[in-house]
């Protein structure tokens, strides 16, 4: 009985063990459906992302550090100003050719004719004598018969009212002489000279801007301070992304922000590249932030050549040479100055008879409007001597080009100079670089180069002084190994050595 009851109960609760079986679909149809959903979502996401990029493209570029493709910047070589247009010179054949004289037309001398006296015929037998009235009519008067000169030309008759000389010839009319222009006085010449100088300064000023460095920090009393310093910038070009401006770094050391003033228009900028050894920096201003009407007014600065630095040459100092913005000083080059050693090179300078102001800055230009130098207070043999000094920019053209392109620069690590004359004479040397100092943690120190060594060749090429050595290093790439031949003083004279130097990036 018990077993039957159990079986019956099992039959009554059989429905509990039943389960719902899903309807089976084909596997390929399910997979294609999932793939379609994924594709649709991807398309929607792409459309939304593209729209968001178009609406905030510049913001994302700045946020992510994405830059457009830049063009390489080069400094144009100064060209001679165009002279007056002259007529073309004749060719040798034309010069030797005898010109054909133009035919001379001889004037036709009019032959005076006299009216024949008519003889009236009254009859065949009788010829009456002419009366007085008839004689007066038929006889030509002196005014009707022109008087001839011995050469056959007609003597001109005097006009009415003209005075007649006793010989019968008219008196020539007096020649009217225009009033003479008074010669310019010395004061007029003086004013003209300074007016021409002022015009040159106005034209060159289109290549100058005011750069303001903003430095923010916290002082000892935990108070936030802000320091603003200004300097003059020189526009040298653009790479298709930024407008590039050269400035000196003596006026600001560490800036948190940069503002660039194009006259009254202020546009934010940033430090693009810098070299503290040379005291130079390049400020970049995004081209898409400069209005089109402002771009049409911007001019690029043009460097003068180092050979233009001649004693006695008149120059103009622009920017803030006396500490006041948009000021101007005028003078002439008084000396070629001195050369100051910097890392792997040197800075050449010149002086002028312009008063030096401790807070002055700016650039020195020629009367042709070419940029000659950058005013400096530190890169000279005796800082603080009160002599107006400027750096020759053409002498460091290679460094400036590297800064404009923010390119990698090879680092050697010495401070040197041309071989002193006493060593040249003592050891019969021609060219090379005398090592004055080897910097710590530099490739030169790692290679074993010491102060007092004389570098005579780099990579198999002879070294033509410190400037030639600087150009050699600028032309090398980083992580490059170069063989350097040097001379080191020993007990028996100079000993020749060859070392290998692994160049690194100066940054």
Q: What is the CATH number of the domain that holds 424?
A: 2.30.42.10
Residue where a domain stops, chosen among 341, 372, 404: 404
Which domain, by its residues, includes 324? 203-404
Contact 315, 188 (CB under 8 A): no
393 lies in the same domain as 420: no
Per the domain annotation, does 214 fall within a domain?
Answer: yes
437 lies in the same domain as 494: yes
Residue where a domain stops, chosen among 404, 422, 439: 404
364 lies in the same domain as 289: yes
pLDDT (0 to 100) of residue 322: 93
CA-CA distance, 469 to 415, in Å (whole number)?
11
379 lies in the same domain as 486: no
CA-CA distance, 268 to 290, in Å (whole number)?
10
209 lies in the same domain as 290: yes
Per the domain annotation, does 466 fall within a domain?
Answer: yes
Per the domain annotation, does 15 fall within a domain?
Answer: no
| Domains contained in the chain, number | 2
Per the domain annotation, does 13 fall within a domain?
Answer: no
Half-sphere exposure of 401 (CA within 13 A, CB side): 15
CA-CA distance, 205 to 235, in Å (whole number)?
10
Contact 364, 390 (CB under 8 A): yes
pLDDT (0 to 100) of residue 434: 95
Per the domain annotation, does 133 fall within a domain?
Answer: no
400 lies in the same domain as 441: no
Q: What percent of the chain has pLDDT over 70?
A: 71
* SS3 at position 101: coil
Residues 106, 111, 113: CA angle, nearest 5 degrees: 165
Strand extents, DSSP E, 343-431: 345-355, 361-366, 371-376, 387-392, 410-411, 414-418
pLDDT (0 to 100) of residue 136: 46
208 lies in the same domain as 278: yes
Per the domain annotation, does 10 fall within a domain?
Answer: no
347 lies in the same domain as 390: yes
353 lies in the same domain as 391: yes
Residue where a domain stops, chosen among 404, 430, 459: 404
386 lies in the same domain as 284: yes
Per the domain annotation, does 63 fall within a domain?
Answer: no
pLDDT (0 to 100) of residue 86: 34
Q: Which residues contact 119 (CB under 8 A, 6 or more apart)?
A: 127
pLDDT (0 to 100) of residue 138: 44
354 lies in the same domain as 229: yes
Per the domain annotation, does 128 fall within a domain?
Answer: no
Provide the β-strand partners of residue 230: 212
pLDDT (0 to 100) of residue 264: 87
Q: What is the CATH number of the domain that holds 378?
A: 2.40.10.120
pTM strictly above 0.85: no
Helices (H), 206-303: 292-295
440 lies in the same domain as 297: no
The parts of the chain modelled with pLDDT lower than 70 are 1-30, 51-68, 77-174, 253
């Amino acid at each position: 009985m018990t077993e039957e009851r159990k079986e019956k109960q099992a039959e009554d609760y059989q429905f509990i063990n039943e389960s719902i079986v899903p309807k089976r679909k084909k596997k390929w149809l399910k997979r294609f459906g999932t793939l379609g959903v994924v594709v649709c979502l991807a398309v929607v996401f792409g459309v939304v992302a593209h729209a968001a990029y178009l609406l905030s493209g510049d913001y994302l570029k700045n946020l992510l550090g994405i830059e457009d493709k830049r063009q390489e910047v080069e400094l144009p070589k100064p060209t001679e100003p165009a002279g007056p247009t002259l007529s073309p010179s004749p060719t040798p054949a034309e010069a030797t050719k005898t010109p054909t004289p133009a035919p001379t037309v001889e004037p036709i001398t009019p032959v005076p004719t006299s009216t024949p006296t008519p003889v009236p015929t009254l009859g065949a037998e009788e010829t009456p004598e002419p009366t007085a009235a008839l004689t007066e009519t038929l006889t030509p008067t002196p005014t009707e018969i022109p008087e001839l000169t011995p050469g056959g030309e007609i003597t001109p008759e005097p006009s009415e009212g003209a005075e007649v000389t006793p010989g019968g010839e008219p008196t020539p009319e007096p020649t009217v002489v225009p009033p003479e222009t008074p010669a310019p006085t010395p004061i007029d010449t003086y004013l003209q000279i300074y007016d021409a100088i002022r015009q040159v300064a106005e034209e060159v000023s289109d290549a100058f801007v005011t750069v303001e460095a903003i430095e923010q920090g916290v002082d000892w009393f935990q108070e936030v301070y802000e320091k603003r310093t200004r300097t003059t910038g020189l526009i040298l070009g653009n790479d298709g992304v930024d407008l590039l401006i050269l400035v000196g770094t003596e006026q600001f050391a560490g800036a948190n922000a940069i503002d660039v003033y194009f006259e009254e228009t202020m546009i934010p900028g940033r430090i693009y590249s810098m070299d503290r050894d040379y005291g130079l920096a390049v400020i970049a201003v995004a081209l898409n932030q400069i209005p089109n009407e402002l771009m049409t007014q911007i001019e690029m600065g043009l460097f003068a050549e180092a050979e233009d630095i001649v004693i006695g040459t008149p120059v103009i100092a622009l920017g803030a040479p006396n500490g006041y913005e948009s000021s101007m000083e005028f003078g002439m080059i008084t000396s070629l100055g001195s050369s100051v050693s910097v890392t792997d090179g040197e800075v050449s300078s010149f002086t002028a008879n312009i008063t030096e102001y401790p807070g002055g800055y700016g650039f020195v230009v020629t009367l042709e409007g070419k940029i000659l130098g950058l005013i400096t207070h530190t890169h000279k043999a005796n800082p603080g001597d009160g002599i107006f000094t400027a750096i020759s920019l053409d002498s460091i053209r290679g460094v400036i080009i590297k800064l404009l392109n923010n390119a990698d620069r090879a680092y050697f690590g010495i401070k040197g100079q041309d071989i002193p004359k006493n060593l040249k004479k003592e050891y019969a040397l021609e060219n090379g670089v005398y090592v004055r100092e080897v910097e710590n943690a530099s490739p030169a120190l790692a290679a074993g180069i010491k102060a007092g060594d004389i570098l005579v060749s780099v990579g198999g090429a002879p070294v033509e002084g410190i400037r030639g050595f600087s150009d050699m290093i600028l032309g090398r790439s980083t992580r490059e190994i170069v063989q350097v031949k040097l001379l080191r003083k020993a007990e028996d004279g100079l000993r020749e050595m060859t070392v290998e130097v692994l160049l690194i990036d100066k940054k």
